[in-house]
Structure 1
Amino acid sequence: MDAKITELTLDRAPDAVALCRRALDLPEDAAEADALVDALWIRAGAGRTVVALGTYVGDELVGVLIGSISAQDPRLGHVDLLVVEPDRRRRGAGRALVAEAERRLARLGAAEVLLAGNPPWYAWPGIDVRYTPAVCLALALGYRQDRTAWNMTADLSYDGSPALRTTEPAERRLAGQGVVVRAAEPKDLPALAAFARSTFGGAWDGELAGSVGRDGAGCHLAERDGEILGFAAWGSSRPSWFGPMGTAPAAEGSGIGGVLLRRCLRDQRAAGVDAAQIGWVGPVPFYSGSAGARIERVFFLYRRTL
């Protein structure tokens, strides 16, 4: 029976999650399939234009692609998720899904398509190098690698982990300087979003909205006299991922960042996470020193002009 590509409707979300669990080869990705589908399709659809496609053989869903238009630059389209039933790979299913997504994204105004994360809702920064068939597909379709990104892993599986060491002495020292460190509440979100936009730009305000006040997610902040000095969040797109975090330039070197980081990591451990992924890392030495984190996942980011 011939395969057919059509729009993926929300009533097939459970089937999409089940397919991701079967088709995502890395266990840490398969385990969070429900969170990925929710973040990239359902929650992202409230904030940007999403293209959701399914490949069907009869009524069986054998392939899924979720793409989107960048909220920052409408000329950029993204492929956010692509999975194909394992026993149907190497038959052109992935190629056909990407081609259809490109056509639809172009009709929406995209001039380029990126195989890269589209913050604030993204599953990965790009293609994990261990997903070798996906790398081969990108190259076969004419995509060019333009960047490399990496995640770091913080081990939360045992009590003596550097990622879980106490922050109490540092918090007492900060309190002596008038700095309060606490869990963020929904009422803090407008001030946090404004701080993130004005200090760092980008889409971190959207990621904060996905962390503050949600089950399976959280955020901590530091403030002095009502002025936010820094924040750290986790769980926006998936429970095991930490980030974003940021400290005001004037507060750098104060130790606020390490405190906020480890408070979040303790939350993640309490939520049942054994290994936190620090996503799309910039300051590798900071995370290594503050939490004993190590570089583990490496991603290639690709793009193609339509």
Structure 2
Amino acid sequence: MRIRVARPDDAPAVVALRAMVYPYLVRGVESTRKMITEPPPEDGWAAFVAEVDTQVVGWVSAQRPGWTSTPGFGDIALLHVHPEHRRRGIGTALLTAATEHLTPLGVRQVRGWAQPDALPFARRHGFQPSRELRYSALSLDPAPALPDPPPGVRLRPIAELDPYLLYQANAAASVAEPSDVPIDAVSYASWQYDVWENLGLDKTASTAVEVDGEVAAFSLVKRDGDRMWSDYTGTIPAYRGRGLARLAKTAALHRAAAGGVRVAYTSNDEANAPMLAINARLGYRAVAAQWSCLAELT
């Protein structure tokens, strides 16, 4: 077994491994290849793979995220190992590579994610569970009907929008998102990378709700083939409580289905009661859970 920095040509193997461990996540080969080739700006991002006999059997990425004002905070994402290669020290070796990458960046507190059966591993390495994340799925056969917006409200595919206006709405909506640290420092450059320039973003299905010409709510769709991920659905504070998030998400799901998507996935913090209620009304069912886990780096 060896741990090494991920390479662009690892993308097909990485996607296949991810699909095995996290069948509810959606990121295709080309999007993964781009992420490895052109890492996110500003965030000190790095990814590592575990290799056994030239086969990729594990993955982890780590960054010091620029989207929060919290100093010294780091993120470790999607640490996972092929089921047939577990309990051989591979997960620990990947975690070590991630923390050794973060420490010189000034990270003092780190967040990782663990499925329920991996919580003992997290605790053994000094991580304590913090927040529960629910993953949900929705069949788009049949698709939700395209809703009729009320007077003064317009549904628009985001392809028609100035991306900076969508960024401003996204940033405003994210501040109140339940999280271990506030999502309050998203730069336009990082948003362009993560959202607008993401190879999986479906700008025809992704939908914005305009009220009197202002972007009031939106629902973003990232897809891979006939599977999609509801990347984020939000409403800016001044327009909350009017059903606009549900309107945006329903329209986005309808348009995605018209474009060939057959199943939609999403995730929500268990404390996000408004979005969980929207998803329940749309027919989503829970398929998995993960916990955010926090640790101090010394």
Normalised-by-shorter TM-score class: 0.7 to 0.9
* AA in 2 matched with 1:257: A
Alignment length (residue pairs): 277
Out of 220-229 and 34-43, give the one that drifted further: 34-43
Q: CA RMSD in A?
A: 3.1
Q: How far off is 1:262 after superposition?
A: 0.7
Match of 1:192 in 2: 166
Match of 2:63 in 1: 68
* AA in 2 matched with 1:269: A
Match of 1:113 among 103, 110, 115: 110
Structure 2: segments with no counterpart, 5+ residues: 176-182
Q: How far off is 1:89 after superposition?
A: 1.5
Match of 1:149 in 2: 133
Matched, 1:34 2:29: yes
**Larger CA Rg, structure 1 vs 2:** 1
CA distance in structure 1 between the aligned counterparts of 2:285 and 2:51, rounded to whole angstroms: 40
Q: How far off is 1:234 after superposition?
A: 1.7
The sequence identity of aligned pairs, in percent, is 22
CA distance in structure 1 between the aligned counterparts of 2:242 and 2:82, rounded to whole angstroms: 50
Match of 1:119 in 2: none
Alignment of 1:207-218 (within 5 A): 210-212=194-196, 216-218=201-203
* AA in 1 matched with 2:245: G
Q: How far off is 1:229 after superposition?
A: 1.9
Task: Assess if the C-alpha contact under 8 Å between 2:21 and 2:80 holds in 1.
Answer: no
Matched, 1:167 2:167: no
Report Cα offsets for 1:168-218 as digits up to 9, x if no partner. Answer: 3xx2xx2xx322221112642111112332454334975676555755523
Match of 1:87 in 2: 84
Compute the TM-score of the two structures, normalised by the length of structure 2. Answer: 0.78
Task: Assess if the C-alpha contact under 8 Å between 1:184 and 1:212 holds in 2.
Answer: no
Match of 1:100 in 2: 97
* AA in 2 matched with 1:111: R
Task: Assess if the C-alpha contact under 8 Å between 2:137 and 2:266 holds in 1.
Answer: yes
Q: How far off is 1:109 after superposition?
A: 1.4
CA distance in structure 1 between the aligned counterparts of 2:158 and 2:277, rounded to whole angstroms: 26
Structure 1: segments with no counterpart, 5+ residues: 116-125
Report Cα offsets for 1:2-35 as digits up to 9, x if no partner. Answer: x2222223233334334434xx334334x75637
Return closer, same or farther for 1:36/1:84 CA change in 2, 3 Å cut-off.
farther
Return closer, same or farther for 1:243/1:207 CA change in 2, 3 Å cut-off.
farther
* AA in 2 matched with 1:217: D
Match of 1:273 in 2: 261
Matched, 1:228 2:215: yes
CA distance in structure 1 between the aligned counterparts of 2:265 and 2:193, rounded to whole angstroms: 19
CA distance in structure 2 between the aligned counterparts of 1:85 and 1:150, rounded to whole angstroms: 22
Task: Assess if the C-alpha contact under 8 Å between 1:67 and 1:77 holds in 2.
Answer: yes
Compute the TM-score of the two structures, normalised by the length of structure 1. Answer: 0.76
Q: How far off is 1:241 after superposition?
A: 1.5
Matched, 1:287 2:279: yes
Out of 183-192 and 237-246, give the one that drifted further: 237-246
